[in-house]
Amino acid sequence: MSQNKPQMGERLQKVLANAGVGSRREIEGWISEGRIEVNGETAKLGQRVVGSDRIRIDGRPFSQKRMEAPERRVLVYNKPEGELVTRKDPEGRRTIYHRLPRLQHGRWIPVGRLDLNTSGLLLLTTDGELANRLMHPSRQVEREYAVRVMGQVSEEQLKQLTHGVELEDGPARFEEIVESGGEGINRWFHVVIMEGRQREVRRLWEAIGVQVSRLKRVRYGSVILESALKVGRWRALTHTEINQLLEISGLPPEKRQPPARAKHYRSDRQQAPRKQGRGPKASGSSANNPWRRSRNPR
């Protein structure tokens, strides 16, 4: 009678994510593209590694010293329109990374992405496992957006968006839609989704024939974009805020207070913060926003 042999080591994508190389989803993509080698051979999805294995990413060796997870840090960044959430752009366009603090160990991993013309709240962390869980649809983490659309929207169209529409990559819907003012042909809404498919918010509106003229993320899970955090600036999350994210991610809380970190807002050295237009503004306190006060972010 055969016995199951114990599997040695950890999955490659988990090891690299824990070391802050990237999110699990990002690393799985690299493995599929053949960018990672283990002991001189192209890595495979689900492959397990141990400390003695030699790992190379894009031909560069991955140091075994990095197998230990870096200090967990989480930032909230107020992304302006016109910036890319990518490390390098072949066209030389501006990316978010020139504004972020430098790390001695690990790297900043974005929790989801915002496209070029979308602004607002972007979480970044050195913890690949936390990033993966916050992004995974199974965790049902809410993402809230302020959306400005052009033209009138009927009650029937709004019902359609909450009941669900068929997109090219499957059915999608908004969990909630709340109208929040506007002038002339422009109307503002706050919408909530539970997953982060590419351009999902824009594509949902486009599916009912409505054009989005402005899109801004104002909340991710328990983290709200504060009015004090100007465009192009970031701040480190507090110990309490990080533990709230760990809780909704199903990860154990940090038991010790992390080392004191700067709690300042980084100056935008290259351009002045943009003035906010008419429409919903970020709130520094949920108590001042009746729409958020009635909700329990998941």
Closest among 277, 297, 236, 263 to 80, alpha carbons compared? 277
Q: Concatenate the DSSP letters of all residues of 230-284 into one string.
A: -TT-EEEPPHHHHHHHHHHHT-PPP-SPPPP---PPPP-SSSPPPPP-SS----S
Q: Exactly one of 115, 127, 169, 268 is catalytic; name it.
A: 115
Q: What is the mean pLDDT of residues 155-176?
A: 95
Q: What is the pLDDT of residues 72-87, one digit of tens each?
A: 899 999 999 999 998 8
What integer pLDDT is reported at residue 16 of this predicted model? 86
Look up the CATH architecture of domain 10-67: Roll (3.10)
- Whole-number percent of the chain with pLDDT over 90: 56
What integer pLDDT is reported at residue 258 of this predicted model? 52
Q: Bridge-partner residues for 275, per DSSP?
A: none
Q: What is the pLDDT of residues 206-237, one digit of tens each?
A: 999 999 999 999 999 999 999 999 999 999 99
Domain ranges of the chain: 10-67, 142-220
Please work out, in degrees rounded to the nearest 5, the angle formed at the alpha carbon of residue 169 by the alpha carbons of 168 and 171. Answer: 90
Please work out, in degrees rounded to the nearest 5, the angle formed at the alpha carbon of residue 121 by the alpha carbons of 150 and 182. Answer: 25
Show the tokens assigned to 236. 């480190």
Is position 115 annotated as part of the catalytic site?
Answer: yes
Domains 10-67 and 142-220 share a fold: no
Does domain 142-220 fall into CATH 3.30.2350.10? yes
Q: Which amino acid is at 65?
A: K
